[in-house]
Amino acid sequence: MAIAQVVMAFGHFFFAMGWPGAVYIGTLLVGLGYGAHWAIVPAAASELFGLKNFGALYNFLIIANPAGSLVFSGLIASSIYDMEAEKQAQQPHERRLMASVLTRFLNMDEPLKCEGICIIAAVLSMILVYRTKTVYANLYGRSRM
């Protein structure tokens, strides 16, 4: 799951760079990571929580995606993004100098942009691996890590 998150992070990195053709590579990487994630999640959930109430658990997994997107992307991440974009707009960068001179010359308003990428999901997945390592060691024997 952590590898799928890292693949998705690279895809988002390509989106953030805005290079020519990066949208195609970014879409491919995000799609691969997202598909791998949804192939792994039901199996991981069944191993962690068992098969007794798997139907209810699977329904919670299905509703978790749109609910998590609404909360994290729509509410939390967007407010953090706007706050960081305002901070970065007040601190001019050398590479944005020509673009800002051009927008001032043409009297256009430059939209706020936040330059950076977050791979928190990959870090959290690695924490999950570390915390569940003993569970899998007890289920399948000693791990090689």
**Per-position pLDDT tens, the chain of length 145:** 888 888 888 888 888 787 888 888 988 998 998 888 888 888 888 888 888 888 888 888 888 878 887 887 777 877 877 777 777 667 655 545 544 554 455 545 555 554 545 566 677 778 888 888 887 788 777 655 5
Looking at residue 32, its pLDDT comes to 92
Sequence-separated contacts (24+) of 108-114 with Cβ below 8 Å: 112/82, 112/85, 112/86, 112/88, 113/85, 113/88, 113/89, 114/81, 114/82, 114/84, 114/85, 114/88
What predicted TM-score, i.e. pTM, was given to this entire model? 0.47
Helix 22-49 to helix 120-140 angle (10° resolution) is: 30
The neighbour count for residue 145, using CB atoms within 10 Å, is 8
So what's the pLDDT on residue 42?
85
Q: Which two tokens stand for residue 14?
A: 């390509």
